[in-house]
Amino acid sequence: MIHETSWIAVLVFLFFAGAVLAISFYLGSKAKSASGYFAAGGGIHWAVNGIAFAGDYLSAASFLGICGMIAFYGYDGFLYSIGYLAGWIVALFIIAEPLKRLGRFTFADALDNKFNSRGIKLAAAISTLVVSCFYLIPQMVGAGALVQPLLGFPHYVGVIVVGLIVTMIVTTAGMVSTTWVQFIKGSMLVLLCAFITVLLLMRGVTTKPTDANGKEVRILKRGVPAAEVTGAAGATVLPEDGAWKAKPYVRVKNSAGVVSVWRKDGDLLSEAQTLTVQKDGKKLVNGLPRGKRAGEADLAPVGYVSKLPGGVEKTGPKGPFGFLRTMQESEVILWSNEKIAEADGSATTVYYQKPTPGSDFMAPGSSPTFKKVRSAKLFDKLDFLSLMLALFCGTASLPHILIRYYTVKDQISARKSTVVGIAAIGFFYVLTLYLGLGAMTSGNLDVTDSNMSAPLLARSLNEFLFAVLSAVAFTTVLGTVSGLIMAASGAVAHDLMTNFMKMKLDEFQKVRAAKIAAMCVGLLAICLGILFAKMNVNFLVGWAFNIAASANLPALVMLLFWKRTTKQGITAAIIVGMISSLAWILLSAQAYKDVYGLDPARAIVPFSQPAIVTIPLGFLVLILVSLITPRPEEQGKAVPARA
């Protein structure tokens, strides 16, 4: 879909970007010391830190990816919400207080607190950089997806704009500005989404969705007798040859030469939409050049309820449970697609309608990601179990979340801020189900881009709301990316340069080194954001969680609970966890399909999510290496039992 530039959105967007930068420069003038730069001097109030946790954690993936996945496939997207929130239990009950007690500035400090091992410093720093980079990709992709419709720029321009602004935020005041940006955006995001959910429930559900101006959205034809389409005056049915042979489509050329594609369902046909990318890169929509002018065509917005319970046309306002009940008992037109490679080198994607009952999409297994849970084979279910395990274990292993424990003054504050974070994040994740289902039935979905579902839902309610939501979503990206870049720059300047390489740097030089590192990571983030532009951001975050959980969690947990843990065991667990999960991901069917463009059936590993194998592997390696190396007390440094 081509999105027209919304000037209100541009103004709100500029206001937000200006405000965020002004805050950063103001705080930057106050925070000159290294401790202020890396950990905000440990002086952040627990309540502010709790909301900043939400601001840090509720990333583009949470907001754009989950809402998009629910809007396109239903309940399966909500599984991510559940997993992301559940992970905070590990953070609160197992990690928060000890991490603060071992506290320094980075995740590596905590692991190395009792050993002073260069191996641990190096392994933990590399792990921080790898996880941060993997987590940066979806944030930057989300940024591009947002700025594209807002400003009318191509995706890559959006990624560059975001990358530059975030780098400026981080290099001005470090953790202080990052915290306040995250606090502001966390509060605004949760409040705004709550407001949209209330509007959504008041609007209810209808079979005839309208746009923000009250104009009915065009519904594509469905269940039309084949003879009516093929026998229309001037219509010519194109032969089913070449790549179209044996496909369930009918192509009909009208008297003006325009080719429409219909999907067969017995003797009935349903209108489909096509997007063709020609060999020279030009794009055609439904056979015409892509555009908004005469003689051009654009993909139509989609997604509506085709049948409501009791056959009514609209439900009127609904309560929270009433809304969900209605969705379960309705039929919704979801969309699927199929790629067809033509002999002339062009590729056509056919988007076709898929009427789906609520009883199907409101239960696990309706999306391509999780469809295997409905398979009878045990092996097929491992992918789902593995992802849910990664989400559960990954939160407490994310470097940008872990460093936030150093910004409060003591363990009680760490605990309290985690509880505030759980409340805010949990509330937001409940809202994602409503936002996603609301987008699914709003009649305004972009069939090519699930990441735009939430902003387009807001647009269906009100143009100004769309502007504000897009701007808040933009700051969402800024908040999370700045946290990630902070974690990465800390790993370079503090862990690698100061502690591993033993470089003699004064306070000023250390902060400068961190700022240069932040700029380099920002540049890398821009490149990755452009390279992975077409992937669903939520799926990419799943990968980051897998790597974080596999590399970091075994080391953190065993350090806290097993006094026989040795520095060699920790180093080995981090390296093996990181490399094995990374390798597994790169050899998975999902990577074959989405990254290399190869046949996923040729993938080497049996399922895409590695956590169920690589987390236990990390624990096993740590235990074995610790057992075959001398006890910690024999190596000169004792490891006291945690409790």
Partner 1 sequence: MAGLDFKAPVAQEQEDAAVVAHNTRMGVILFVVYVLFYGGFMALSAFWPEVMSKPFLFDANLAVVYGFALIVAALVLALVYMKVCRKSK
- Residue 166 neighbours by CB distance under 10 Å: 32
* Interaction pattern, residues 190-229, with partner 1; x per rule: CB under 8 A: ----------------------------------------
- Binding partner 1 (rule: CB under 8 A), the pick from 348, 353, 498, 552 is 498
Give whichever of 184 and 414 is closer to partner 1, judged by the CB atom: 414
For residue 519, the minimal CB distance to partner 1 (Å) is 19
- Among the listed ranges 65-73, 348-356, 411-419, 538-546, the one in contact with partner 1 (CB under 8 A) is 411-419
Strand, helix or coil at 418? helix
Give whichever of 175 and 617 is closer to partner 1, judged by the CB atom: 175
Four-point Cα dihedral 384, 488, 470, 63, nearest 10? 20
Two structure tokens written together for 353: 């309608």
- Sheet with 273-277, edge to edge strand ranges: 288-289, 283-285, 273-277, 347-357, 331-341, 304-307
Query: How far apart are alpha carbons 515 and 528 in whole angstroms?
Result: 20
Applying CB under 8 A, does 515 fall inside the site for partner 1?
no
Query: How far apart are alpha carbons 463 and 12 in whole angstroms?
Result: 12
- Binding partner 1 (rule: CB under 8 A), the pick from 13, 16, 38, 183 is 38
Four-point Cα dihedral 51, 57, 58, 64, nearest 10? 170
Two structure tokens written together for 94: 């197992």
For residue 245, the minimal CB distance to partner 1 (Å) is 36
Strand, helix or coil at 634? helix
- Binding partner 1 (rule: CB under 8 A), the pick from 5, 29, 255, 359 is 359
For residue 534, the minimal CB distance to partner 1 (Å) is 28
Q: Is the dihedral of CA 284, 285, 291, 294 positive or negative?
A: positive
Give whichever of 414 and 456 is closer to partner 1, judged by the CB atom: 414
Give whichever of 113 and 462 is closer to partner 1, judged by the CB atom: 113
- Residue 239 neighbours by CB distance under 10 Å: 9
Give whichever of 155 and 494 is closer to partner 1, judged by the CB atom: 494
> Cα dist. 121→456, 513, 624 in Å?
45, 17, 21
CB 439 within 8 A of CB 193: no
> CB-based contacts of 257: which residues, under 8 Å, 6+ apart?
none
Give whichever of 41 and 600 is closer to partner 1, judged by the CB atom: 41
For residue 414, the minimal CB distance to partner 1 (Å) is 10
- Binding partner 1 (rule: CB under 8 A), the pick from 373, 520, 587, 605 is 373
Give whichever of 140 and 440 is closer to partner 1, judged by the CB atom: 440
For residue 511, the minimal CB distance to partner 1 (Å) is 8
Applying CB under 8 A, does 643 fall inside the site for partner 1?
yes
* Interaction pattern, residues 439-478, with partner 1; x per rule: CB under 8 A: ----------------------------------------
Question: Which class for 629: exposed (0-12), middle (13-18), buried (19 or more C-beta within 10 A)?
Answer: middle
Two structure tokens written together for 616: 């236990």
Give whichever of 39 and 478 is closer to partner 1, judged by the CB atom: 39
- Binding partner 1 (rule: CB under 8 A), the pick from 164, 238, 258, 412 is 412
Query: How far apart are alpha carbons 622 and 626 in whole angstroms?
Result: 6
Applying CB under 8 A, does 410 fall inside the site for partner 1?
yes
DSSP string, 350-377: EEEEEEEEHHHHTSTT-STTTGGGGSS-
- Among the listed ranges 22-30, 294-302, 361-369, 571-579, the one in contact with partner 1 (CB under 8 A) is 361-369
Strand, helix or coil at 563? coil
For residue 263, the minimal CB distance to partner 1 (Å) is 26
Query: How far apart are alpha carbons 94 and 557 in whole angstroms?
Result: 8
End-to-end CA, the chain: 58
For residue 296, the minimal CB distance to partner 1 (Å) is 43
List strand residue ranges (DSSP E) for 467-509, in order. Answer: none
Q: Residue 392 carries which DSSP code?
A: H
Element (H, E) at 519: helix 507-531
- Among the listed ranges 73-81, 122-130, 244-252, 453-461, the one in contact with partner 1 (CB under 8 A) is 73-81
* Interaction pattern, residues 251-280, with partner 1; x per rule: CB under 8 A: ------------------------------
Applying CB under 8 A, does 579 fall inside the site for partner 1?
no
Give whichever of 93 and 596 is closer to partner 1, judged by the CB atom: 93
Which parts of 77-136 interact with partner 1 (CB under 8 A)? 78-79, 81-82, 85-86, 88-90, 92-94, 97, 101, 103-105, 109, 116
Residue found under tokens 């990052």 = 178
Applying CB under 8 A, does 411 fall inside the site for partner 1?
yes
- Binding partner 1 (rule: CB under 8 A), the pick from 46, 351, 352, 384 is 384
Applying CB under 8 A, does 499 fall inside the site for partner 1?
yes
Applying CB under 8 A, does 524 fall inside the site for partner 1?
no
Query: How far apart are alpha carbons 419 and 394 in whole angstroms?
Result: 18
CB 185 within 8 A of CB 478: yes
Give whichever of 145 and 439 is closer to partner 1, judged by the CB atom: 439
Q: For partner 1, how many residues bind (rule: CB under 8 A)?
A: 67
Applying CB under 8 A, does 516 fall inside the site for partner 1?
no
- Among the listed ranges 210-218, 286-294, 422-430, 623-631, the one in contact with partner 1 (CB under 8 A) is 422-430
**Residue 224, strand partner residues:** 269
* Interaction pattern, residues 8-37, with partner 1; x per rule: CB under 8 A: -------------------------xxx--
CB 524 within 8 A of CB 589: no
For residue 379, the minimal CB distance to partner 1 (Å) is 12
For residue 239, the minimal CB distance to partner 1 (Å) is 42
For residue 88, the minimal CB distance to partner 1 (Å) is 6
> CB-based contacts of 106: which residues, under 8 Å, 6+ apart?
38, 124, 125, 128, 399, 403, 487, 490, 491, 494, 495
CB 485 within 8 A of CB 24: no
> CB-based contacts of 312: which residues, under 8 Å, 6+ apart?
none
Query: How far apart are alpha carbons 206 and 441 in whole angstroms?
Result: 8
For residue 496, the minimal CB distance to partner 1 (Å) is 12
Q: Which residues bind partner 1 (CB under 8 A)?
A: 33-35, 38-39, 41-42, 75, 78-79, 81-82, 85-86, 88-90, 92-94, 97, 101, 103-105, 109, 116, 321, 324-325, 328, 359-360, 362-365, 373-374, 381, 384-385, 388-389, 392, 410-412, 415-416, 418-419, 422-423, 426, 429-430, 433, 493-494, 498-499, 505, 507, 510, 642-643
